[in-house]
Amino acid sequence: MNAKQKQGIKNFMRAAAGLAFGNASIEDRTQAPARPKRILLVNGAHIGDLVISTSLLPILRSAFPAAEIGFAVGSWSKMVVADHPHVAHIHVVDHWFLNRERKPLASKVAQYRRTRAQALREMKAVGYEISICLHAFYSDLMRLTANAEIPFRVGFREGIFSNQAHVLARYPDNPFITQGECLTELLRALQIAPEHLHRRKAAVVCDSEESLRELCDLLQVKDLAERRYSVVHIGSGAPARELSPHVWREVAARLARTQTLIFTGKGKRDEANIREIIHGLDNCVNATGKLSWRGFVTSVRHADVLYGVESMAGHVAAAVNTRSVLVYAGTAGPARWRPESSLSTVWTVHVPCSPCGLIGGCKDMTCIRGITADDILNPLGPIY
């Protein structure tokens, strides 16, 4: 399916949404409150997306210092904003389309309806004055903010339910603009002054007494100063974006000569791959399932380097100012989804079919399969 066909489908679905739910006319749209007391951000996607979204929080805090900020999120990424100093309210909405659990579609829809109903009650109770839906295309969570009777709603023009917004921003076509910059277009639509927009920076809560203890126990030290280490995160939400364990085996064999390596991951698949990679190697720790979210963030924060693929790990490294070396496939576009950090080095093979938009990738994956251990370990690699 080419770009023109995809756009045609989006236009048809937006028109259908307009017929089903009505289109608010420009004349009927209200003006944003100058000093809002409560603002809701909506992003039901996954961990990396939510880490990127936290970059808007310093802008909103600077522009509206007295406002309470809420976040509507999926249960799978709630921990990213838990205990965040800028987030006063969290509402869980597990959208069926964004749910990666291995369960029947009917179960996902039932879970969505249940969490949506609860979130709707919570949003009405808080009484938000502005909502900002961070989904650009398919999600109908903009409709949820309308049901919550939030009087001023902001969204992307390209969204299927854009007819439910009072102010619309255009999702940038330029593929070299990062996702964080794309989201900032929503705040520009609110006419927030440039001096506030310059404060954009993702931030996640990391060190705590418990997370530091987790990390020290993993490294078998009493103090982190006792041992230098790097983190290797080989997994991704889409297996097509991952490198062969043989490549990581060579990386590990060379790095482990001079430092400890913590291999992080989740689930049986990561556990098995990491076991294969580090078998017989010294100074390698398989941390799959052994760190809490906060423990993982803390491990990245204190690492010399994070090595990994296109996943949330690189965005976490950028948020906590840790150097990262990452390998990106061309499916979504490395320039759009790269971490926003001068400390991030991104490797990819530039191919004319990128970005293809294929979630599962293609059979060849030439955009990633040419990457070698030498590339990953080369400190002079290409920095986006």
**Same domain, yes or no: 73 and 218:** no
Last residue of a domain, one of 151, 171, 197: 197
Confidence of residue 241 (pLDDT cuts 50, 70, 90): confident
352 closest CA partner among 333, 337, 375:
333
CATH number at residue 154: 3.40.50.2000
Last residue of a domain, one of 197, 221, 240: 197
**Same domain, yes or no: 160 and 236:** no
Q: How far apart are CA 225 and CA 294, in angstroms?
A: 19
**Same domain, yes or no: 231 and 149:** no
**Same domain, yes or no: 213 and 192:** no
Q: How many domains does the chain have?
A: 2
**Same domain, yes or no: 108 and 223:** no
**Same domain, yes or no: 221 and 159:** no
User: Does 271 reside within a domain?
Assistant: yes
63 closest CA partner among 130, 128, 122:
130
- Average pLDDT for 195-213: 94
User: Does 384 reside within a domain?
Assistant: no
Confidence of residue 176 (pLDDT cuts 50, 70, 90): confident
Q: What percent of the chain has pLDDT over 90?
A: 70
pLDDT digits (tens, 9 = 90+) for 139-168: 789 999 999 999 999 999 988 888 899 999
pLDDT digits (tens, 9 = 90+) for 255-268: 999 999 999 999 99
* Pairwise pLDDT comparison (118 vs 191), residue with the higher score: 118
User: Does 31 reside within a domain?
Assistant: yes
- Side-chain half-sphere CA neighbours of 128 within 13 A: 31
Residue 343 has pLDDT above 50, yes or no: yes
**Same domain, yes or no: 62 and 193:** yes
**Same domain, yes or no: 214 and 343:** yes
Tokens matching residue 144: 């949820």
User: Does 98 reside within a domain?
Assistant: yes
User: Does 204 reside within a domain?
Assistant: no
How much is the pTM? 0.89
- Average pLDDT for 361-371: 83
**Same domain, yes or no: 49 and 102:** yes
Of 57-66, 84-93, 239-248, 351-360, the poorest mean pLDDT is in 351-360
Q: Is 10 helix (H, G, I), strand (E, B) or coil?
A: helix
Cβ(327)–Cβ(348) under 8 Å? yes
How confident is the model at residue 379, as a pLDDT?
60
pLDDT digits (tens, 9 = 90+) for 223-238: 998 889 999 999 988 8
How confident is the model at residue 174, as a pLDDT?
87
DSSP string, 108-166: HHHHHHHHHHHHHHHHHHHT-SEEEE---SS--HHHHHHHTT-SEEEEETTSTTGGG-S
**Same domain, yes or no: 297 and 341:** yes
User: Does 383 reside within a domain?
Assistant: no
Last residue of a domain, one of 197, 218, 242: 197
**Same domain, yes or no: 223 and 183:** no
User: Does 184 reside within a domain?
Assistant: yes
Query: Residue 71's domain spans which residues?
Result: 3-197
Average pLDDT, the chain: 88
* Pairwise pLDDT comparison (245 vs 365), residue with the higher score: 245
User: Does 203 reside within a domain?
Assistant: no
Burial pattern 171-197, b for ≥16 Cβ within 10 A else e, equals: bbeeeeebbbbbbbbbbebbebeeebb
**Same domain, yes or no: 55 and 21:** yes
